[in-house]
Every structure is written in structure tokens, then in C-alpha cells.
């Protein structure tokens, strides 16, 4: 039982970081109709920028904040310089361009910081908390709590503030938004800024858990099951789906994989199914797409991938 709880806490902690990243993807999709394949690159870059900032001697809070601001700037730049000229281009072409951005950003990070994993500065204190026999390291605890707070804070901002309302108007009907005096293009830039900023913080948190490497960009792919579960148009759906995915991975890793490995060891010469954790989300993705093409939380008629 304790073991299950242990898996649940770990899963929720990682899942909440996924949620933060997925919310950014949904935000961009709602506002510009584009699935941003570069989100994973924003995640990775945010982590590298935090790393660089703390190398300069900045305290953790300032380093993360600086990275967030820089990432927001990069988000705006990506939208203004790369995407806006493509306003009239087919959506598929625009998505290919975001894929190009992923490759470019990855290559730049490779050039600056090299291919090897780096030791990420310790941002949160060492040690663990014990609650009802469940251990959770401060790393996981802070990453989880911070992500949840940021996600909920963002959802609240989107739902209840004037700027959030303008965001939703621009996403719902740009023509109508324009007519009531909303600068729709500024809203799109803002969506990219916020999305890249959230991704950057998410990247930093992931790096505190798993270390800093170019592999962080792969999270962009992990986010897709989250999106498909959530249905691409629902921010709340992205949040829930992120948590679900975290749980799923944690249980695959902690329960399913050892069980299958035992089975395989008894009957075959295969010893490890370490990659199962990576496979399960995608198997689930296919299953969801087959059963509910609009996602679990998406409405009928929302666009499919």
C-alpha cells in the first residue's frame, strides 16, 4: 500500500510538470490554431538558461525568473519573426516550421553547452519528507507543488482577469475580437510568451528531477498524449491529462515493468523492458484516438491531430 502511495506521489509530481508544459501547447493551439512542435525545445532551453544564469552567480529564484523572462521573449520572437509571416500559409506548413524551430534551438543548445548531460545546480534543498510512510524528496515535492500552483494560477488568470478574457476572445473568434477593439495579434504574441515562459519553468523543474541534457526536448513528444487526452482545446483537460500521464508513467515504471520483467525472465532470455515507460503513453494515445477522437475533455467538432 505504501508502495502504491509512493508511486502516486511521484507520478503526480512529475505529471504536474507535464501539465504545465501541456497547458502551453493548448494555449498556443487555441490562439493560433497551430500545434507547436517546438514546445519541447522551449522546455529544454528554459532549463539551460536557468543553468547559465546560476553559473553567473544568480540565486536560484532570480535564475529561474530570468530564464522565464528570457523564454517569454523567445516565445514572442518566435511568433513575430517566424510565425507571423506565415499567417496565410497552410496549417501543416506552419507546424513544419515549428518543427524546424525545435531542430534549430536544439542545435544551438548543442553548440553552446555540448552533448553531455550537465550537473544541474541544486535549486531545492536535499533530503526528503516522510508522510504516512511515504517518502518524497524535496525536489519532487517542490517541483510538484510549484507546477500545480503555477498551473492553477494560470487557469485562474485565463478565466477571471480582463487580459484572460481578451485571450479567450481572440482564441474564440478573432474577427469579433478585432471589432470590439482587441489587438488580436498582440494577444497571439502574449499567448506565445506565456506558453514559452511556462515551458521554461517546466524545463527547469524537470532538470532538477532528471538532470540537464538535450533529451529534455523529448518532453515535447510526451506532451502530445497529454494534449490528445485533453482534446487540444481545454486547458483544464491538459492539466488533468498531465497528472494522469505522470501517474501512468510512474505505475508503468514501478509496477507494470517489474511484473513483465519477472514474467519474461522466467520464460525468455529478455531481462529488461526499460523503455516500456515511453511506450505506454503512446499506446494509450492510440487507444484514446480510436475511442474518442475529440479527446476525453475536448468537445465534439474540435480539430483532430
Partner 1 sequence: MLAVNDVFAVYDGAITALEQVSLSIGPGSLVALLGPNGAGKTTLLKAIVGMLPFERGEVTAGDILFEGASVRGCHPAVVSRRGIALVQDGRQCFRELSIAENLRAASLVSRQGAADRFEMVLHYFPFLKEMLDRPAGVLSGGQLQMLVIGMAIMSKPKLLMLDEPSLGLSPVMVQSVFDVVERLHREAGLTVIVAEQTVPRLLKLATDVYVVSRGRIVMHAPPSEMTEERLQRIYLN
Determine the interface stretch with partner 1 among 131-139, 160-168, 219-227, 277-285 (rule: CB under 8 A): 160-168
String of contacts with partner 1 for each residue 244-263, x by CB under 8 A? --------------------
3-state secondary structure the chain: CHHHHHHHHHHHHHHHHHHHHHHHHHHHHHHHCCCCCCHHHHHHHHHHHHHHHHHCCCCHHHHHHHHHHHHHHHHHHHHHHHHHHHCCCCHHHHHHHHHHHHHHHHHHHHHHHCCCCECCCCCCCCCEEEECCEEEEHHHHHHHHHHHHHHHHHHHHHHHCHHHHHHHHHHHCHHHHHHCCCCHHHHHHHHHHHHHHHHHHHHHHHHHHHCECHHHHHHHHHHHHHHHHHCCCCHHHHHHHHHHHHHHHHHHHHHHHHHHHHHHHHHCCCCCCCCHHHHHHHHHHHHHHHHCCCCCCCCCCCCCC
Determine the interface stretch with partner 1 among 69-77, 120-128, 170-178, 197-205 (rule: CB under 8 A): 170-178
Report the nearest approach of partner 1 to the CB of residue 183 (Å).
5
Question: Which of 25, 45, 166, 188 is the binder for partner 1 (CB under 8 A)?
Answer: 166
Question: Which of 108, 173, 272, 278 is the binder for partner 1 (CB under 8 A)?
Answer: 173
| 179: contact with partner 1 by CB under 8 A | yes
Determine the interface stretch with partner 1 among 49-57, 127-135, 162-170, 276-284 (rule: CB under 8 A): 162-170
Which of residues 8 and 80 has its CB atom nearest to partner 1 in the complex?
80
| 275: contact with partner 1 by CB under 8 A | no
| 169: contact with partner 1 by CB under 8 A | yes
| 181: contact with partner 1 by CB under 8 A | yes
Tell the residue number behind the cell numbers 512529475, with chain if given: 14
Report the nearest approach of partner 1 to the CB of residue 22 (Å).
19
Q: Which of residues 114-153 bind partner 1 (CB under 8 A)?
A: none
CA angle, residues 155, 218, 88, in degrees to nearest 5:
65
C-alpha cell at 13: 509530481
Report the nearest approach of partner 1 to the CB of residue 26 (Å).
14
Determine the interface stretch with partner 1 among 15-23, 176-184, 248-256, 268-276 (rule: CB under 8 A): 176-184
CA atoms of 265 and 269, how far apart (whole Å) = 6
| 289: contact with partner 1 by CB under 8 A | no
| 1: contact with partner 1 by CB under 8 A | no
| 108: contact with partner 1 by CB under 8 A | no
Q: Which of residues 182-221 bind partner 1 (CB under 8 A)?
A: 182-183
Please report, as ranges, the residues that interact with partner 1 according to CB under 8 A: 162, 165-166, 168-169, 172-173, 175-183
Amino acid at each position: 500500500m505504501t508502495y502504491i502511495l509512493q508511486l502516486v506521489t511521484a507520478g503526480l509530481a512529475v505529471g504536474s510538470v507535464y501539465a504545465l508544459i501541456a497547458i502551453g501547447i493548448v494555449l498556443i493551439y487555441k490562439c493560433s490554431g497551430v500545434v507547436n512542435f517546438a514546445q519541447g525545445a522551449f522546455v529544454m532551453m528554459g532549463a539551460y538558461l536557468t543553468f547559465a544564469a546560476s553559473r553567473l552567480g544568480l540565486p536560484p529564484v532570480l535564475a529561474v525568473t530570468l530564464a522565464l523572462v528570457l523564454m517569454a521573449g523567445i516565445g514572442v520572437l518566435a511568433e513575430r519573426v517566424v510565425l507571423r509571416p506565415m499567417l496565410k500559409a497552410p496549417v501543416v506548413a506552419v507546424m513544419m516550421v515549428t518543427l524546424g524551430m525545435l531542430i534549430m534551438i536544439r542545435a544551438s543548445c548543442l553548440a553552446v553547452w555540448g552533448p553531455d548531460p550537465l550537473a544541474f545546480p541544486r535549486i531545492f534543498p536535499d533530503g526528503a519528507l516522510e508522510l504516512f510512510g511515504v517518502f518524497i524528496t524535496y525536489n519532487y515535492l517542490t517541483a510538484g507543488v510549484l507546477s500545480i500552483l503555477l498551473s492553477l494560477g494560470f487557469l485562474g488568470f485565463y478565466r477571471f482577469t480582463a487580459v484572460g478574457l481578451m485571450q479567450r476572445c481572440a482564441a474564440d473568434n478573432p474577427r469579433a475580437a478585432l471589432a470590439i477593439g482587441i489587438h488580436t495579434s498582440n494577444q497571439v504574441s502574449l499567448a506565445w510568451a506565456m506558453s514559452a515562459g511556462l515551458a521554461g519553468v517546466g524545463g527547469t523543474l524537470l532538470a532538477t528531477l532528471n538532470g540537464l541534457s538535450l533529451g529534455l526536448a523529448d518532453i515535447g513528444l510526451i506532451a502530445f498524449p497529454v494534449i490528445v487526452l485533453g482534446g487540444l482545446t481545454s486547458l483544464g483537460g491538459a492539466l488533468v491529462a498531465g497528472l494522469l500521464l505522470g501517474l501512468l508513467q510512474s505505475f508503468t515504471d514501478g509496477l507494470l515493468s517489474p511484473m513483465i520483467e519477472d514474467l519474461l525472465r522466467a520464460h525468455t532470455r529478455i531481462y529488461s523492458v526499460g523503455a516500456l515507460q515511453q511506450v505506454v503513453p503512446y499506446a494509450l494515445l492510440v487507444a484514446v484516438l480510436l475511442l474518442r477522437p475529440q479527446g476525453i475533455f475536448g468537445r465534439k467538432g474540435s480539430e483532430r491531430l
